[in-house]
């Protein structure tokens, strides 16, 4: 695939993604210093994912902050379609969402659309999604969300709350619209066609339940933007606010900076349940390196952190300290730091994270009920 | 509209319906004497709606009776989309369903798809359907269904049970299929497109809940056949039986034997809540007469019971006694019985029915909970 060819849809992410072009194509706003300082006024410090533009785009954040400053608190909405094990790429937006919850002291609605992947994947059964649903919830809880302020909403299990609201949404969307927005076709199944209505519901359900208009902020990876474009088109017609969003780029797969991590490709992802040994082995074996072909060359010409997956994982997820990251960057670029050494820095970070996460994940098993609607 | 032009779809029934052509077009089987005597073996007597071919067609009734005779009892499934007041035409298949429940001692699942008409009608809100839902339930209960053997299933309120199963159905149906089956279009809304999946669910839900394959018999008016054709196509792919059906013609509107009664046209229907005076007035004023232009002509040439709405209502709903009906028929045809006199016979029957139904409808208000899932 050539530099210009890439694809970003809810069902496929591939190629070398030009995020600036996405900003233009999708019609989202870039996260700039003005909006960052506006956020900082409320959060005191800025999460490194904001400073480093891992969260790089938004919709209507200024409006959301206007409302917040007027005393009209927002709530957060994000989600996970259970269809496989959780990997580190999934955690990225959730870790940021947890930071937002803490800093703004707001409610989070976490959707598990357990029918989505069932409808879109030929070989996935509801028995599969049921297993992954439980498993994936543990990963979310392990990140430390406040159970008093966090509600899990599961499409098939909370359909009594959701289906009627989804019908109100569906009445405002034609097949032509989902055809052009999602590329659905005449031979798409009628569940796929209906599905986006269900993904819209948590963007206004709390307003329905509390009978007042509450602003909504959706942190999500950029591939989901099309769902919320449809949502934003429909909700004013139902008397609700358009949701705001804050959107991140993808944690690159081990194989290189193209596309996104895939849960179904074991050599592209580190799962949250991988043992420290397996994770280390995967990084050593598969993590694409920006280093040179030989030691001599590397010492002389230096490595390329921009395409080095280990460096990118540190930048996007594992090294919050800007100074330490800068030193790693400079040492690698100068040739002082070797690819193998860089990998070991990442492995150390990943090991500490996994050990802690897996402990919390185990404890989460007792706490699922606290999060259910 | 000429004799050959008519339309029978779930959304529109109009013209002079050629039921024999429907049997051919829909591919259903005619109710004949062989199947009637097979039914009679179990029911001892035959409901007049069977003898008079008001229920005129079926699918797989022989298979259903085979299973019944092997000890594999079926359950009944019928329904009502709440979108207006109940009129006498709605009651017809339900009265027959009650007879089936009593004779075969079987369970009935009565669906109230409260989203259907909301999705298909521009000006109908969920506030409207909610009001009619409660109101319509009273009419069903008033007919005397056994609360121990009858379950009301309401799509938006029982979605926790239904939506997941509907997704399994939806995964097996493409937009092309609903386009050709229902005439849906690219500008149909995505709720309309999904809807048939929800109508399919009660045709197998009891089998899912009891974890065994239970035959299902759906008594319904012939306009709903297309839904269950889709259902029958899909269910074997999900490991369920195809449902059987037994199908009736439409009680003609007051205006004449074309089309079907419409709840939104007050001069075409007698509602279950009409006072005896109003019902009588409607019949006197609007009921299309097969009588002659003058008294002299009528006495001489006789009336035409085939197109006389009062006679048809007696035949289809209000005069169970075959001998009495025959006498009315013959007297009318010979000119002995005048149109006005025929109307008074019907009015007397309707008055007795309404008085009793309205009393039971009032009592039903305390009993709704007994029928809810």
The pLDDT, as a whole number, for residue A3 is: 52
Q: How far is B238 from chain A (nearest CA, A)?
A: 12
On whether residue A269 sits in a domain, the answer given is: no
On whether residue A266 sits in a domain, the answer given is: no
Burial of A53 from C-beta contacts in 10 A (0-12 / 13-18 / 19+): middle
Looking up tokens 């007919």 gives: B143
Sheet holding A55-59, edge to edge: A29-30, A55-59, A244-248, A216-221, A75-79, A108-112, A150-154
ipTM, two decimals, is 0.95
On whether residue B371 sits in a domain, the answer given is: no
On whether residue A260 sits in a domain, the answer given is: no
Query: In terms of domains, do B151 and B224 share one?
Result: yes
Tell how far CA B28 is from the center of its chain. Answer: 17
Query: In terms of domains, do B324 and B189 share one?
Result: no
How far is residue B189's CA from residue B193's CA, in Å, rounded to a whole number? 7
pLDDT tens, A33-68? 999 999 999 999 999 999 999 999 999 999 999 999
On whether residue A166 sits in a domain, the answer given is: yes
pLDDT tens, A256-266? 988 888 777 77
CATH code at B237? 3.40.50.620
> Which of A134-156 are b and which e, b meaning 16 or more Cβ less than 10 Å from the residue's Cβ?
ebbbbbbbbbebeeeebbbbbbb
Residue A151, pLDDT > 50, answer yes
How far is residue B349's CA from residue B317's CA, in Å, rounded to a whole number? 10
Query: In terms of domains, do A56 and A128 share one?
Result: yes
The answer to whether the CB atoms of B175 and A193 lie below 8 A apart is yes
| DSSP character at residue A271 | B
Do you know the residue count of chain A?
Answer: 373
Give the residue among B229, B163, B234 at the shortest CA–CA distance from B195.
B163
Region B103-107: mean pLDDT is 98
Nearest CB to A159 within list B163, B171, B193? B163
Query: In terms of domains, do B112 and B161 share one?
Result: yes
How far is residue B99's CA from residue B105's CA, in Å, rounded to a whole number? 9
On whether residue A270 sits in a domain, the answer given is: no
- The three-state secondary structure class of B284 is helix
Show the tokens assigned to B44: 């001892």
Which residue in B175, B179, B195 has the most chain A C-beta atoms within 10 A of its own C-beta, making it the best mutation to test that interface? B175
Which residue in A186, A190, A193 has the most chain B C-beta atoms within 10 A of its own C-beta, making it the best mutation to test that interface? A190
CATH code at A322? 1.10.240.10
Query: In terms of domains, do B105 and B176 share one?
Result: yes
For residue A271, give every residue at least 6 positions away whose Cβ sits within 8 Å of its Cβ, in sequence order, or none: A85, A86, A87, A88, A263
Residue A164, pLDDT > 70, answer yes
The answer to whether the CB atoms of A186 and B170 lie below 8 A apart is no
Give A-chain residues touching B179 at CB under 8 angstroms.
186
On whether residue B121 sits in a domain, the answer given is: yes
Give the residue among A5, A232, A270 at the shortest CA–CA distance from A139.
A270
pLDDT tens, A243-302? 999 999 999 999 998 888 877 777 889 999 999 999 999 999 999 999 999 999 999 999
pLDDT band at B81 (very low <50, low <70, confident <90, very high): very high
Q: Which one of A181, A214, A249 terminates a domain?
A: A249
Strand pairing class (B75-79; B108-112): parallel
Residue A1, pLDDT > 90, answer no
Residue B305, pLDDT > 70, answer yes
Give B-chain residues touching A186 at CB under 8 angstroms.
174-176, 179
Show the tokens assigned to A196: 């986006």
Query: In terms of domains, do A38 and A179 share one?
Result: yes
The pLDDT, as a whole number, for residue B214 is: 98
pLDDT band at B78 (very low <50, low <70, confident <90, very high): very high
Query: In terms of domains, do A234 and A329 share one?
Result: no
Strand residue runs (E) in chain B: 6-8, 13-15, 29-30, 55-59, 75-79, 108-112, 150-154, 216-221, 244-248
pLDDT band at B64 (very low <50, low <70, confident <90, very high): very high
Region B164-191: mean pLDDT is 97
Show the tokens assigned to A39: 């956020």
On whether residue B267 sits in a domain, the answer given is: no
Query: In terms of domains, do A242 and A280 share one?
Result: no
pLDDT band at B65 (very low <50, low <70, confident <90, very high): very high
The answer to whether the CB atoms of A163 and B155 lie below 8 A apart is yes
The answer to whether the CB atoms of A175 and B160 lie below 8 A apart is no
Query: In terms of domains, do B283 and B231 share one?
Result: no
pLDDT tens, B204-229? 999 999 999 999 999 999 999 999 99
Strand pairing class (B55-59; A55-59): unpaired
Show the tokens assigned to B69: 């005779």
Residue B265, pLDDT > 90, answer no
- Asked if residues B84 and B47 have their Cβ atoms less than 8 Å apart, the reply is no
Query: In terms of domains, do B220 and B347 share one?
Result: no
Region B107-130: mean pLDDT is 97
Region A128-133: mean pLDDT is 97
pLDDT band at B261 (very low <50, low <70, confident <90, very high): confident
Region A63-81: mean pLDDT is 98
Does A133 touch chain B if contact means CB atoms closer than 8 Å? Answer: no
Does A124 touch chain B if contact means CB atoms closer than 8 Å? Answer: no
Q: How far is A115 from chain B (nearest CA, A)?
A: 7
- In chain B, what percentage of residues exceed pLDDT 70? 99
- The three-state secondary structure class of B333 is helix
Strand pairing class (A13-15; A6-8): antiparallel
Burial of B103 from C-beta contacts in 10 A (0-12 / 13-18 / 19+): middle
- Asked if residues A187 and B176 have their Cβ atoms less than 8 Å apart, the reply is yes
Query: In terms of domains, do A42 and A127 share one?
Result: yes
Number of domains comprising chain A: 2
Residue B281, pLDDT > 60, answer yes
Show the tokens assigned to A372: 């259910």
Which structural domain range is residue B320 located in? 276-364
Does B233 touch chain A if contact means CB atoms closer than 8 Å? Answer: no
- Asked if residues A337 and A291 have their Cβ atoms less than 8 Å apart, the reply is no
The pLDDT, as a whole number, for residue B4 is: 63
| DSSP character at residue A263 | T
Residue B145, pLDDT > 90, answer yes
The pTM (predicted TM-score) of the whole model is 0.95
pLDDT band at B1 (very low <50, low <70, confident <90, very high): very low
Does B148 touch chain A if contact means CB atoms closer than 8 Å? Answer: no
How far is residue A48's CA from residue A53's CA, in Å, rounded to a whole number? 8
- Asked if residues A287 and A343 have their Cβ atoms less than 8 Å apart, the reply is yes
Nearest CB to B187 within list A176, A196, A197? A176
Query: In terms of domains, do B288 and B226 share one?
Result: no
The mean pLDDT value of chain A amounts to 96
The pLDDT, as a whole number, for residue B321 is: 98
């Amino acid at each position: 695939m050539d530099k210009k060819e890439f694809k970003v849809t809810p069902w496929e992410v591939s190629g070398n993604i030009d995020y600036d072009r996405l900003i233009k194509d999708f019609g989202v706003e870039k996260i700039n210093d003005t909006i960052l300082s506006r956020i900082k006024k409320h959060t005191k410090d800025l999460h490194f994912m904001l400073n480093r533009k891992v969260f790089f785009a938004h919709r209507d954040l200024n409006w959301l902050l206007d409302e917040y400053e007027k005393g009209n608190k927002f709530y957060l909405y994000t989600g996970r379609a259970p269809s496989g094990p959780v990997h580190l790429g999934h955690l990225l937006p959730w870790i940021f969402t947890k930071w937002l919850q803490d800093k703004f002291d707001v409610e989070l609605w976490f959707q598990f659309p357990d029918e989505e992947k069932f409808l879109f994947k030929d070989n996935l059964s509801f028995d599969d999604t049921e297993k992954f649903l439980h498993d994936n919830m543990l990963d979310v809880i392990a990140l430390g969300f406040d159970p008093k302020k966090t509600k899990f909403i599961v499409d098939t299990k909370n359909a009594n709350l959701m289906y009627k609201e989804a019908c109100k949404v569906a009445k405002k969307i034609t097949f032509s619209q989902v055809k052009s927005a999602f590329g659905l076709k005449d031979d798409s199944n009628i569940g796929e066609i209906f599905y986006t209505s269900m993904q819209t519901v948590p963007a206004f359900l709390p307003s329905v339940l509390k009978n007042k208009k509450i602003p909504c902020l959706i942190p999500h990876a950029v591939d989901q933007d099309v769902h919320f474009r449809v949502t934003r088109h429909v909700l004013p017609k139902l008397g609700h606010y358009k949701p705001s969003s804050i959107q991140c780029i993808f944690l690159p797969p081990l194989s290189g900076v193209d596309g996104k991590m895939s849960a179904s490709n074991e050599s592209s992802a580190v799962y949250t349940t991988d043992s420290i040994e397996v994770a280390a082995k995967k990084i050593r074996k598969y993590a694409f390196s920006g280093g040179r072909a030989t030691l001599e060359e590397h010492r002389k010409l230096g490595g390329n952190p921009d395409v080095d997956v280990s460096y990118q994982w540190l930048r996007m997820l594992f090294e919050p300290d800007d100074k330490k990251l800068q030193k790693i960057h400079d040492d690698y670029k100068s040739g002082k730091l070797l690819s193998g050494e860089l990998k070991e820095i990442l492995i150390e970070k990943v090991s500490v994270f996994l050990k802690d996460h897996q402990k919390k994940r185990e404890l989460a098993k007792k706490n699922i009920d606290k999060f259910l609607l």
